[in-house]
Amino acid sequence: MRWTPGGSRKNLEDRRAQGGRGAGGMGMGMGRMGLGGAVVLLVLSLVFGQNLFTGGGVPAEPLPPGATGGVASESAEEADLVEFVNFVLNDAQEVWATVLPRYGTQYRDARLVLFRGAVQSGCGSASAAMGPFYCPLDERVYIDLGFYDELHRRFGAPGDFAQAYVLAHELGHHVQHIVGTDTRVRQLQESNPRQANELSVRLELQADCYAGVWANSTQQRQLLEAGDLNEALAAASAIGDDRIQTQTMGGVQPESFTHGTSEQRATWFGRGFETGSPDACDSFGQAI
């Protein structure tokens, strides 16, 4: 992907120097949670009136805007990665700030929190083992950059556009929050718990599609390079429920899916990419 370092860091919070102090471990790996899995925990926390991120209690307060918790040591490679995710953050949000008003909604920026090991979010304490997640209670995306190594080594999805897809997916959850989709889904899950998993899958597939909408804009602006689209599709496929369950459990249990199959995730990302339109992302109004 063609990108330029040195962009504004107004929406970037670097908490890597904290090293996970004060955050309780989840004990739940990516094999169970998957990309965006914290959204599922948040929904369940709201349904049951209990903070399931920490096992109970009041959600922890995040650091104030602009707080960093000290200066993080980093390698040159990690410094470049920080520049890259900051570029994607800014670029994706600029796109949504243009797109959403066409649908009658003003976009407001999310913030990106970088951490190592564990972190305190507005949704409670969380471990890096959960993978990247979006917390609607504080409108922040949380990423331990070590996840990208896992995406490459464990899930076989290398490349900078695979990394960009991860962040664009989480910002897709922010778009859902702005327009109220996550609230409506929570209400539906409360009224019909048997459909909770299916509704979670539809929520995740829509976020994949929104990531594709942003990816379409990068193609229009000639930011894509050869192989970038395949990197994103490989990442979407790598974290499908069926593939993760096969790797970790030796079998597939469709009734427990929360994010969608590999084919579904790649398909919905592709819909957004091919059309460049949020209208194509109605995962709740059509078969998935």
pLDDT digits (tens, 9 = 90+) for 110-121: 999 999 999 999
Confidence at residue 24, expressed as pLDDT on a 0 to 100 scale: 31
Domain count for the chain: 1
Q: Write the CA distances from 3 to 84, 135, 227, 250, 278, integer angstroms.
A: 7, 27, 15, 40, 24
For residue 287, tell me if it sits in a domain: no
DSSP state of 208: H
Specify the pTM. 0.84
CA 270 – CA 278 distance, rounded (Å) = 12
- Is the distance from CB of 37 to CB of 244 less than 8 angstroms? no
DSSP state of 116: S
Confidence at residue 17, expressed as pLDDT on a 0 to 100 scale: 92
For residue 23, tell me if it sits in a domain: yes
Q: Write the CA distances from 39 to 92, 123, 134, 259, 268, integer angstroms.
A: 20, 10, 7, 10, 18
For residue 120, tell me if it sits in a domain: yes
Q: How many CB atoms lie within 10 A of CB 183?
A: 13
* Domain carrying residue 117: 12-277
The position carrying tokens 């009224």 is: 191
For residue 114, tell me if it sits in a domain: yes
DSSP state of 26: -
Tell the burial category of 7 from Cβ atoms under 10 Å away from its Cβ (0-12, 13-18, 19+). middle
DSSP state of 34: -
Confidence at residue 141, expressed as pLDDT on a 0 to 100 scale: 98
- Is the distance from CB of 17 to CB of 117 less than 8 angstroms? no
Rounded to 5 degrees, what angle do the CA atoms 232, 238, 240 make? 110
For residue 264, tell me if it sits in a domain: yes
For residue 7, tell me if it sits in a domain: no
Q: Write the CA distances from 80 to 6, 11, 94, 131, 282, integer angstroms.
A: 10, 17, 21, 20, 36
For residue 65, tell me if it sits in a domain: yes
For residue 103, tell me if it sits in a domain: yes
Per-residue pLDDT of the chain (288 residues; tens, 9 = 90+): 999 999 999 999 999 998 654 333 222 333 333 354 444 444 444 433 334 444 333 334 444 444 444 556 889 999 999 999 999 999 999 999 999 999 999 999 999 999 999 999 999 999 998 899 999 999 999 999 999 999 999 888 999 999 999 999 999 999 999 999 999 999 999 999 999 999 999 999 999 999 999 999 999 999 999 999 999 999 999 989 888 888 888 888 888 899 999 999 999 999 999 999 999 999 999 888
Tell the burial category of 106 from Cβ atoms under 10 Å away from its Cβ (0-12, 13-18, 19+). exposed
| Reduced DSSP (H G I as helix, E B as strand, rest coil) percent helix, strand, coil of the chain, to 5 | 55, 10, 40
Confidence at residue 284, expressed as pLDDT on a 0 to 100 scale: 96
Query: CA Rg, the chain, in Å?
Result: 17
Residue 121 three-state SS: strand
